[in-house]
Structure 1
Amino acid sequence: MPMGAVAARDLAYGYGGAEMLGRFFMPEGQGERPGILVLHGAHGLDGFILSRAECLAGFGHAVLAVDLWGGRELISDPAAIGPRLGAFAGHRDMWMGRIEAARAALIAQPGVDNSRIGALGYCFGGTGVLEFARKGGALKGVVSFHGGLDMVEDDWSGQAGASVLVCTGAADPMARQEDRLRVEAGMSAANVAWETNLYGGAKHAFTEPDRPGQPPFAGFDARAERRSWAAMRKFFQDVLA
């Protein structure tokens, strides 16, 4: 639960003719706040993501829960997930452009310190924050919770100095060892300040409540969820200080 009082409101923004409807959370009180973007996974900007964003705001951050799909669309049909992810992976300028539009919307809000902006993402959102940092997104740091490392490209030479925390499960087929090592090598070659937390036995989507019809490669893991959340808190306390 949030530690302090938080005001919340919808925040509309757009990119390339698409209209997005994020949710902005701001702690009550005076002074500029560091900002955090929270990117959802394949299912869209649902109650789980909104609750995580509100909780982060309760710790003193200005938070924008990002609407990546547009129109606050939620995807419940598993058959629709693959084509949607493929459409974004196949049009990375659009994918990154929507994240940048969210960043611009966040830093335009009164009381947000635009020199201290981070991002975290879940599942496809975790992939997105890594790609955004890799491509030079103007962020201090990013955290990926069980992101698909198989979709993260190798060349980090265009990154702009963001620190990186990867929280991933050892039993996640979307983050196999070869992809994890490949991504880590790319970050090391570009002198990125990175760290990986690897949770033994944890599957994909280990932070999220189990859903009806969930695939066997995904599942909630209480220990990994608890430890990754604590690691994220410490990471942002450091890089957004």
Structure 2
Amino acid sequence: MTQFQAIHCEHEGTKLEGLVAWPAGAKETDTPLPTVMVMHSANGLRHQVRGTIEKLAALGYLAIATDMYGPEVQNGAPEASHQAYGDMHARPGIVRSRALAWLDAVRAHPGVDPARLAAIGYCFGGHCVLELARAGADLQAVVSYHGTLQTHAPAEAGVPKCEVVAYCGAQDPFAPMADIDALRQEMIDAGARYQITVFGEAAHSFTDPDAAVMGMEGIRYDRMAHQMSWAGTLTLLDLLLGH
């Protein structure tokens, strides 16, 4: 059975509280584990992320969901998460610096093997993990699912150290084909190791079975894109984290 515990981080005066999922039977005194950071969408930690870290823990990974808003927002009404996302979106530099602060907190956790560490993220979280790669974060890989792709500071030549993977939908109004093409060129110019997969019929939030609940144009679940992107992620993690 998966074990859960809290993990904390502080950034620019904001106290943040994430969630750690341990593989069954693992303990902090055991050998450090291959680890996956999971970064939440604009809807916050309660949406989709807990199930993801539980699945990863069942596969033997230490899985850590990070909190970009703070527990008061995460435990509040959905509107609070939307407001927090809007506030962060208006200050793009804070997204990158907060993601880096979380990476430091995760690397310092006693259960984490820093040499076997990757980060994945959905929507806003997909943007966050791409920002980690652009900053030259010491990771084995980042994986973005239907993440927003524009950035205030594109990757500079030679800076990205990790494998950069983006799963995108050709029908995603929040990451249109022009942004996908720009990301590809950015990665080429930076000399990054990258993979970009575009699902021709997929829209935004294609990994979320409950996407239709949002009732928004351009947001819908796509079973094929979801399952293929997850299978690709597990293959990548197995190859790069040696698990």
TM superposition score normalised by structure 1: 0.89
Counterpart check, 1:233 vs 2:231: no
% identity of equivalent residues: 29
Match of 2:79 in 1: 77
- Amino acid of the residue matched to residue 130 of structure 1? L
C-alpha contact (below 8 Å) 2:22/2:61 kept by paired residues: yes
Distance 2:158 2:193 in 1: 14
- Quickly say closer, same or farther: Cα 1:119–1:195, change in 2 above 3 A: same
How much does 1:152 deviate?
Answer: 6.7
Instruction: Find runs of 4+ consecutive structure 1 residues off by over 3 angstroms.
Output: 83-86, 150-156
1:175 match: secondary structure: coil
Moved more, 146-155 or 190-199: 146-155
Gaps of at least 5 residues in structure 1 are: none
Contact persistence 1:134–1:157 (CA under 8 A): no
Task: In structure 2, list runs of 5 or more residues that go unmatched.
Answer: none
* Residue of structure 2 equivalent to 1:134: 134
Bigger mean CA deviation after superposition, 109-118 or 223-232: 109-118
**Alpha-carbon deviation of 1:198?**
1.1
8 Å CA contact retained: 1:11, 1:23: yes
Give the residue type in structure 1 aligned to 2:213: P
Indicate the larger mover: 49-58 or 24-33: 24-33
Instruction: Return the TM-score normalized by structure 2.
Output: 0.89
Match of 1:19 in 2: 15
Contact 2:21 2:62 in 1 (8 A): yes
Number of positions where the alignment pairs a residue of Structure 1 with one of Structure 2: 235
How many angstroms does 1:205 deviate by?
A: 0.3
Distance 1:158 1:90 in 2: 28
What is the root-mean-square deviation in Å for CA atoms of aligned residues? 2.0
Q: Secondary structure at the match of 1:149?
A: coil
Which residue of 2, 5, 8 corresponds with 1:6? 2
Once the two structures are TM-superposed, the CA of residue 151 in structure 1 deviates from its matched residue by 4.2
CA deviation vs aligned residue, 1:168-204 (integer Å, no higher than 9, x gap): 1110012211111111111111211101111121110
1:46-57 aligned at under 5 Å gives the runs 46-57=46-57
Cα distance 1:155–1:12, how it changes in 2: closer, same or farther (>3 A)?
closer
- Aligned partner of residue 207 in structure 1, secondary structure: coil
How far has the Cα of 1:160 moved from its partner? 3.8
* Deviations 1:71-111 (CA, angstroms, capped at 9, x unpaired): 15246239x73x54443234333222221222222222223
Counterpart residue number, 1:87? 87
